[in-house]
């Protein structure tokens, strides 16, 4: 019968009938089982299975021990004719496995039917429920439901394919391991696994059914190397997944060398997500404030949307500080941060000349709303308030905080009603720490409507009439502001310094095209100001008997009460555009130069609101000079006052733009590129027909241009057509032409230029001054700006600004030139000197005082899992230095060596 079975098996192998092949194997295994249980029941004898079955591909073992072989090549060794005892091959019992075991190997699988074991070689992979095991050598014992795995040694003695065990989110890499599918216990040798941002190494680990692990001879580190640069070494520990790692006595080692840093026990967090806990303070000594514990406290993970930090600092000479930080975020809704700090800063000893005590505070709040949360409304906040002396004692200031003396804040809410109305509410703050003046707006509210065409029908067909283009708008703005010294803020009576008001604006405009080329624009502007108070001034003559002299002073009273001030004006302007172009030859690199001229002629009218009928102006008589002085009763109004004096101006302006088109081989779309030579070179003046003298207004000239995309040049000047009196203070009704035979006299002129140049890896590849070529920019990918492989990234930024103001004054008809030159220079460098060394440098130059501004140097050395950093401010107010070697991981951020000297200690 055995010969028939073998013949049938070989026949199926040759025909390739997979289904019949599987059926034959199943039949063969069943016969073997029956023969093992009853040797005399079948009329055949098998000697023994001298060699097990060898299979060179993959297989799947079902829980009932049935082999399903898919596309396998099976080699059968000779079957001896010796008889087999009943206990030679163990009987197959019902398996206790509760899931299917899938296993495969790239080299071979060997089945031992006598011991019911499977041996897998090379790139083995076993899956059992949520368990996955990979390695180069494995043994599966279906009698004990155990698996054993280790690496394999090649001819050179190198071990590879060491087992990697995965169960759910847990993963272990080890030298060898044994695992029981029934008890779910495992014994692992030479293990390495990642636990919540750290790496746990152990000589032996016993894994329990609840995934708790007991470790013998282990170490914990955040260095991912097999031989870490540092670790906490211990003899015994217990790992509770998702909770903590507990160790016995442990010591700290660096590069395998033990250090005197010992702890009686170790407790490491092993939880995913945010976890509450104690924040260890930093400690040290300050020459001016004494010994300290700084920024220690508690971190509270309130929930998935909010976390809080409560920090405190204390110094032996009396200084202390409390700090609360909050971070919040809700996906698709909003995100923000809050930082509140209050400190008592004491420098020196009481009674010493350098003793100083100050109360300081800091309020920082940033909030941003996701655009998808409320499409029609938006709320944002950027608050940065501090006491004037706060920066002096804050050690963690950024470079911008150190060089800046002005801080601003804004909290804004805006929304849209329907399709026509926009509402905006804003609270703002501006602070200058040098003059210690704070300006706050509490609040500013505005409401504006869209353009409204009163004469245009909604669904009008055909061409529009001239009156269809008449439109009006309405805007209302109200604000309440205060400007006081920071020491008076929120003190009793500070509300008396508030200034408030409301302003309504209604512009009525229309635009009509006449004679095809002319644009005619007409407008009427109505402005109404509402105030809760106005001023009254009177002259008081004072007789000094001792000095036998008389002098006077102006007294001003504030009268409370609702009052309005309304003014209006109208204007009409006609403008057009004139084009001129000069083209060059085909061989010229310049294709053409185009000149665009925009002339505008207009008329504007405003009544004299200084007349008594309006009631906006009053006067007092100066008895010393015997002059009557007029003043506006709204001189302190937040929105100003209607202007006095009638105005009927003829306005003239001429705007010039010159562009050049050059050939560009890099542009594959159009083949050319535009360069702006002169941008908005404007000449403007006016003639006032409503006055009896000095009708011509000064000529204003302004313009700008940009060179090489990096250099911006601006020009402004003012030219007066009338001569001055002998004191050089007033204009006389005589033109410069009639007296000095020149059209204008220059009053002032200013030039300003700015250079913002950034150099990096790709600068010299693309050219020092990149071309302003939109088409080529579109064709470039983001990776073009990235450094090539093998190059070190670096960047240098240079910012330079020059302002030259020249004023001409006259005294007794002699010219006095007053020139003012202002220059600023700042530069920043970020240099990756080597793959591990980095240099950051920031500084500037003060041309007025001829010295460098605040300079900061940062030198960083990457030490893999460690970092060495040296921060140095060599001179100035913030002179200081800080040297530290620390572990990069935030888990051990306080494990560092640090030496420093702050600016307070100099």
- Within 10 angstroms of residue 835's Cβ, the number of other Cβ atoms is 8
Question: What's the rounded mean pLDDT across residues 553-573?
Answer: 91
284-332 tens-digit pLDDT: 888 888 888 988 999 999 998 999 999 999 999 889 999 999 999 998 8
Amino acid 814: pLDDT: 63
State whether residue 326 is helix, strand or coil.
strand
Report how far apart, in Å, the C-alpha atoms of 614 and of each of 558, 566, 755 are: 20, 9, 51
**Mean pLDDT lowest for which of 28-42, 381-395, 577-591?**
28-42
Residue 76 has pLDDT above 50, yes or no: no
Give 93's DSSP letter: P
Angle subtended by helix axes 2-15 and 18-37, to nearest 10: 160
Give 775's DSSP letter: H
- Within 10 angstroms of residue 190's Cβ, the number of other Cβ atoms is 18
- Helix/strand/coil percentages in the chain, nearest 5: 10, 55, 35
- Within 10 angstroms of residue 451's Cβ, the number of other Cβ atoms is 10
State the average pLDDT for the chain: 80
Amino acid 762: pLDDT: 64
Strand residues in 331-436 grouped as ranges (E): 334-347, 356-369, 377-386, 406-417, 421-432
Strand residues in 146-243 grouped as ranges (E): 146-150, 152-153, 159-160, 164-167, 170-173, 176-180, 186-195, 198-207, 213-221, 230-240
pLDDT-derived band at 505, boundaries 50, 70, 90: very high
Residue 524 has pLDDT above 80, yes or no: yes
More confident residue, 62 or 899: 899
Amino acid 133: pLDDT: 84
Give 739's DSSP letter: H
Question: Tokens 């050939």 correspond to what residue?
Answer: 663
Distance (Å, whole) CA 50 – CA 42 = 21
The DSSP result for 166-180, as a single string, is EETTEEEE-SEEEEE
Amino acid 14: pLDDT: 38
Listed in sequence order, the residues at least 6 apart from 84 whose beta carbon sits closer than 8 Å to its beta carbon are 35, 36, 39, 46, 47, 48, 49
- Within 10 angstroms of residue 735's Cβ, the number of other Cβ atoms is 18
Tokens describing residue 786? 């990235």
Distance (Å, whole) CA 362 – CA 337 = 14
Amino acid 20: pLDDT: 43
Residue 849 has pLDDT above 70, yes or no: yes
Amino acid 650: pLDDT: 94
CB 47 within 8 Å of CB 83? yes
Query: Which of 672, 673, 669 has the alpha carbon at shortest distance from 778?
Result: 669
How many helices (H) and strands (E) the chain has is answered by 7, 57
Amino acid 83: pLDDT: 36
Amino acid 9: pLDDT: 38
Residue 401 has pLDDT above 80, yes or no: no
Distance (Å, whole) CA 557 – CA 760 = 62
pTM of the complete model: 0.69
Residue 599 has pLDDT above 80, yes or no: yes
- Within 10 angstroms of residue 220's Cβ, the number of other Cβ atoms is 25
Query: Which of 162, 211, 169, 167 has the alpha carbon at shortest distance from 191?
Result: 162
Report how far apart, in Å, the C-alpha atoms of 720 and of each of 69, 655, 691, 723 are: 104, 20, 17, 8
Query: Which of 707, 665, 672, 655 has the alpha carbon at shortest distance from 583?
Result: 672
pLDDT-derived band at 406, boundaries 50, 70, 90: confident
- Cis, peptide link before residue 443, omega less than 30° from 0: yes
Amino acid 816: pLDDT: 66
Q: Strand 320-330 and strand 377-386: pairing?
A: unpaired
More confident residue, 167 or 438: 438
86-104 tens-digit pLDDT: 333 344 344 455 667 787 8
223-280 tens-digit pLDDT: 988 889 999 888 888 888 778 888 889 889 998 899 888 888 878 777 767 778 888 8
Burial annotation 347-370 (CB, 10 A radius, 16+ → b, else e):
beeeeeeeeeebebebbbbebebe
Question: What's the rounded mean pLDDT across residues 879-898?
Answer: 86
Amino acid 749: pLDDT: 87
CB 238 within 8 Å of CB 214? yes
311-322 tens-digit pLDDT: 999 999 889 999
Percent of the chain with pLDDT over 70: 83
**Mean pLDDT lowest for which of 379-383, 655-659, 891-895?**
891-895
Query: Which of 223, 213, 221 has the alpha carbon at shortest distance from 244?
Result: 213
Give 452's DSSP letter: B
Percent of the chain with pLDDT over 90: 24
Amino acid 431: pLDDT: 86
Q: Strand 108-112 and strand 53-55: pairing?
A: antiparallel
Amino acid 99: pLDDT: 67
Choose the most confident range, by mean pLDDT, from 150-154, 701-705, 875-879. Answer: 701-705
Amino acid 92: pLDDT: 38
pLDDT-derived band at 32, boundaries 50, 70, 90: very low
Report how far apart, in Å, the C-alpha atoms of 812 and of each of 453, 472, 742, 815 are: 58, 52, 19, 9
pLDDT-derived band at 125, boundaries 50, 70, 90: confident
pLDDT-derived band at 668, boundaries 50, 70, 90: low
pLDDT-derived band at 605, boundaries 50, 70, 90: very high
Question: What's the rounded mean pLDDT across residues 579-593?
Answer: 87
């Amino acid at each position: 019968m055995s010969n028939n079975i073998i013949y049938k098996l070989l026949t199926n192998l040759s025909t390739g009938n997979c289904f019949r092949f599987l059926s034959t194997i199943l039949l063969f295994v069943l016969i073997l089982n029956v023969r093992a249980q009853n040797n005399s029941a079948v009329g055949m004898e098998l000697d023994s299975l001298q060699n097990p079955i060898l299979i060179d591909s993959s297989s799947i073992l079902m829980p009932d021990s049935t082999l399903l072989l898919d596309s396998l090549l099976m080699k059968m060794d000779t079957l001896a004719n010796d008889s087999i005892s009943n206990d030679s091959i163990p009987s197959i019992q019902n398996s206790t496995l509760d899931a299917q075991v899938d296993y495969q190997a790239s080299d071979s699988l060997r089945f031992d039917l006598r011991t019911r074991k499977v041996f897998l070689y090379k790139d083995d992979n076993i899956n059992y429920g949520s368990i996955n095991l990979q390695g180069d050598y494995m043994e599966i014992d279906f009698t004990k439901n155990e698996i054993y795995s280790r690496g394999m040694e090649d001819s050179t003695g190198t071990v590879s394919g060491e087992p990697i065990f995965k169960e759910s989110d847990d993963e272990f890499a080890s030298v060898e391991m044994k695992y029981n599918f029934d008890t779910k216990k495992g014994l692992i040798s030479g293990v390495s696994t990642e636990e919540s941002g750290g790496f746990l190494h152990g000589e032996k680990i016993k894994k329990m059914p609840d995934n708790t692990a007991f470790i013998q001879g282990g170490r914990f580190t955040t260095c991912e190397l097999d031989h870490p640069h540092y670790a906490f070494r211990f003899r015994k520990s217990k790992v509770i997944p998702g909770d903590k790692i507990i160790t016995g006595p442990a010591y700290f080692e660096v590069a395998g060398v033990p250090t005197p840093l010992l702890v009686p026990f170790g407790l490491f967090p092993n939880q995913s997500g945010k976890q509450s806990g104690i924040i260890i303070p930093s400690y040290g000594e300050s020459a001016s404030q004494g010994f300290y514990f700084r920024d220690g406290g508690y971190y509270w993970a309130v929930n998935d949307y909010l976390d809080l930090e409560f920090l405190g600092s204390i110094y032996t000479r009396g200084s202390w500080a409390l700090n609360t930080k909050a971070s919040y975020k809700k996906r698709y809704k909003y995100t923000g941060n809050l930082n509140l700090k209050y400190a008592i800063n004491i420098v020196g000893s009481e009674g010493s000349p350098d003793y100083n005590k100050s109360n300081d505070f800091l309020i920082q709040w940033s909030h941003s709303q996701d655009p998808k949360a409320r499409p029609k409304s938006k709320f944002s906040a950027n608050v940065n308030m501090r006491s004037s002396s706060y920066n002096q004692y804050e050690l963690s200031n950024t470079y911008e905080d150190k060089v800046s003396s002005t801080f601003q804040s804004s909290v804004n809410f805006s929304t849209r009603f329907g399709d026509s109305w926009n509402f905006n509410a804003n609270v703002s703050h501006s602070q200058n720490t040098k003059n210690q003046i704070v300006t706050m707006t509490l609040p500013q509210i505005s409401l504006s409507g869209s353009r409204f065409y009163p004469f245009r029908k909604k669904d009008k067909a055909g061409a529009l009439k001239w009156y269809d283009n008449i439109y009006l708008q309405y805007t209302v703005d109200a604000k309440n502001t205060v400007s006081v010294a920071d020491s008076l803020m929120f003190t009793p009576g500070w509300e008396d310094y508030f200034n408030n008001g409301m302003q309504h604006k209604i512009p009525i405009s229309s635009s009509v095209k006449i004679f095809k080329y002319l644009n005619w624009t007409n407008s009427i502007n109505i402005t109404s100001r509402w105030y809760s108070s106005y001023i009254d001034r009177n002259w008081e003559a004072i007789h000094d008997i001792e000095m036998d002299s008389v002098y006077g002073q102006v007294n001003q009273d504030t009268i409370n009460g609702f009052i309005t001030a309304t003014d209006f004006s109208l204007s009409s302007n006609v403008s057009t555009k004139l084009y001129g172009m000069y083209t060059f030859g085909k061989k010229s690199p310049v294709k053409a130069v185009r000149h665009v001229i925009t002339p505008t002629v207009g008329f504007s009218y405003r009544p004299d609101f200084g007349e008594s009928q309006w009631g906006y102006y009053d006067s007092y008589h100066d008895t010393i000079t015997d002059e009557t002085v007029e003043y506006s009763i709204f001189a302190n109004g937040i929105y100003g006052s209607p202007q006095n004096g009638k105005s009927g101006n003829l306005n003239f302006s001429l705007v010039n733009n010159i562009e050049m088109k050059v050939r560009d081989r890099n542009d594959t779309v159009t083949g050319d590129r535009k360069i702006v030579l002169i941008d908005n070179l404007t000449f403007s003046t006016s003639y006032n027909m409503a006055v009896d003298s000095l009708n011509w207004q000064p000529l204003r000239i302004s313009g700008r241009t940009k060179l090489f995309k990096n250099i911006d040049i601006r020009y402004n000047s003012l030219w007066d057509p009338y001569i001055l009196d002998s004191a050089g203070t007033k204009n006389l009704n005589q033109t410069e032409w009639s007296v000095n035979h020149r059209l204008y006299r220059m009053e002032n002129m200013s030039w300003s230029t700015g250079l913002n140049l950034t150099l990096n890896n790709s600068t010299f590849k693309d050219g020092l001054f990149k071309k302003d070529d939109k088409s080529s920019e579109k064709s470039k990918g983001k990776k073009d700006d990235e450094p090539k492989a093998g190059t070190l990234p670096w960047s240098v930024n240079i910012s330079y600004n020059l302002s030259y103001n020249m004023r001409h004054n006259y005294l007794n008809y002699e010219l006095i030139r007053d020139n003012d030159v202002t220059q600023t220079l700042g530069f920043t460098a970020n240099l990756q000197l080597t793959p591990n060394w980095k240099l950051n440098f920031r500084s500037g130059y003060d041309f007025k005082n001829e010295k460098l501004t605040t300079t900061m140097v940062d030198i960083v050395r990457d030490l893999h899992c460690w970092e060495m950093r040296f921060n140095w401010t060599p001179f100035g107010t913030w002179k200081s230095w800080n040297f530290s070697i620390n572990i990069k991981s935030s888990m051990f951020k306080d494990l560092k060596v640090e030496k420093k000297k702050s600016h307070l200690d100099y």
